[in-house]
A and B are shown apart, each in its own frame.
Chain A
Amino acid sequence: QSALTQPASVSGSPGQSITISCTGTTSDVGGYNYVSWYQQHPGKVPRLLIYDVTYRPSGVPDRFSGSKSGNTASLTISGLQAEDEADYYCSSYTSSRTQVFGGGTKLTVL
């Protein structure tokens, strides 16, 4: 199974909104509503932001939102803050009953 495709980097200014895409196939992203998103600051443990495409676990700010269209899922961060600067990873359930991550996207807050 191949890793999901994410842009290597995105950037935005404080207060702006950014969107990170995550492209897979009909065997993973497109076939199931089981896409998750994670945030990882340097040297830290990943943190779950979104599960099942659109749902936020308790404690995750509503500035973080998820969506999906076809084989591409997206994470949108609105009202960018300095502390949002981190790496972001998508993940999806697959038809092989496994999971697969994207390659990761580095978010820079200008």
Chain B
Amino acid sequence: EVQLVQSGAEVKKPGESLRISCKGAGFPFTTYWINWVRQVPGRGLEWMGRIDPTDSYTNYSPSFEGHVSISTDKSIGTAYLQWSSLKASDTAVYYCARQGYDSSIGYYYYGMDVWGQGTTVTVSS
């Protein structure tokens, strides 16, 4: 089964660091970009950035660049989202999502077709 499995919920204090993970299964991990999406409770989806596991090339939304870091360990098929200093405003659910692929024509597209189950991050003093 094609799936993305994310790490469990985290409770942290402001100023602490954190890394959450997203492990791919059932597909060749290095051939798909992995995106990260934030959802603050009661709010909408926000695209944070994406990584190409082949060469670790990353793109970030201007809203998140400099505050988070996206990386990957392709040897274990896992992507990461990392903070060096959390803020209370980072409290949210974080999803990883795979770049879409139409297998009938061998075409990668910008939509996100497979999503992780989400990781809840709570930052509170």
B: contact size bracket: 20 to 34
Cα A17 to Cα B85 in complex, Å, equals 47
Interface string of B95-112 (1 = CB under 8 A from A): 101001010000001111
| Residues of A contacting B: mostly | strand
Which single residue of chain B is at the shortest CB-CB distance from A100? B47
The stretch from B10-18, B23-31, B59-67 touching chain A is B59-67
Q: Are B44 and A51 neighbours in the complex by a CB distance under 8 Å?
A: no
* CB-defined contacts of B112 to chain A, threshold 8 Å: 36, 38, 46, 48, 91
B44 touches A102 (CB 8 A): yes
Contact A51 B109 (CB under 8 A): yes
Q: A46-B95, A57-B100, A98-B59 are in contact. Are A3 and B109 (CB under 8 A)?
A: no
Interchain CA distance A34-B99 in the complex, whole Å: 12
A13: interface (CB < 8 Å): no
Chain A residues, CB < 8 A from B61:
1, 98-100
- CB-defined contacts of A103 to chain B, threshold 8 Å: 44
In the complex, whether A64 has a CB less than 8 A from a CB of chain B is no
Nearest A residue (CB) for B104: A58
A-B contact pairs, 19 of them (CB 8 A): A1-B63, A34-B110, A36-B111, A45-B95, A45-B115, A45-B117, A46-B45, A46-B97, A48-B112, A50-B111, A51-B111, A51-B113, A87-B44, A89-B44, A96-B62, A97-B59, A99-B50, A101-B46, A103-B44
Which 5 residue pairs across A and B have the least CB separation, nearest first?
Answer: A51-B111, A36-B111, A104-B44, A99-B47, A34-B110
Residue ranges of A at the interface with B (Cβ–Cβ < 8 Å): 1, 3, 34, 36, 38, 40, 45-48, 50-52, 55, 57, 87, 89, 91, 93, 96-104
